[in-house]
Amino acid sequence: KAGVTQTPRYLIKTRGQQVTLSCSPISGHRSVSWYQQTPGQGLQFLFEYFSETQRNKGNFPGRFSGRQFSNSRSEMNVSTLELGDSALYLCASSLDSGPYGYTFGSGTRLTVV
């Protein structure tokens, strides 16, 4: 059974650019959540999508956005990148909305220079 797939694995961007990250959940999983992980702040919740609807949003600026497609694949977008956006971005999928059996992807390591 394929796990959660995140692409790309690594990304280097310049300040001011925008970036799109992709997440394909485990087959049958309808909930996709995104987290940002940094050494200083740890794992912080960005947003959750369930059946193409954003259900919850964390305390991040509007530069961070996301969406979910009908096949449950999700993308997150960060516009006007700042140096502080350098982090590991993790996507997690679960069968239903609710914290049961979260499976994380391998993450996308974003470096902003």
Partner 1 sequence: QKEVEQNSGPLSVPEGAIASLNCTYSDRGSQSFFWYRQYSGKSPELIMSIYSNGDKEDGRFTAQLNKASQYVSLLIRDSQPSDSATYLCAVSLGSGYSTLTFGKGTMLLVSP
Nearer to partner 1, 61 or 101 (CB): 101
Neighbours of 62 (CB within 10 A): 7
Which residue matches tokens 């049958």? Answer: 28
8 is a site residue for partner 1 (CB under 8 A): no
Q: Is 33 in the site for partner 1 (CB under 8 A)?
A: yes
Contact 100, 60 (CB under 8 A): no
For position 86 contacting partner 1 by CB under 8 A, the verdict is no
How crowded is residue 99: how many other Cβ atoms within 10 Å of its Cβ?
9
Whether residue 57 contacts residue 50, with contact meaning beta carbons closer than 8 Å, is answered with no
Asked if 55 is part of the footprint of partner 1 (rule: CB under 8 A), the reply reads: yes
β-partners of residue 6 are 23
One residue of 20, 58, 60, 65 binding partner 1 per CB under 8 A: 58
Which of 92, 112 has the CB closer to partner 1? 92
Provide the binding-site residues for partner 1, judged by CB under 8 A.
Answer: 31, 33, 35, 41-45, 48, 50, 55-56, 58, 90, 94, 97-107
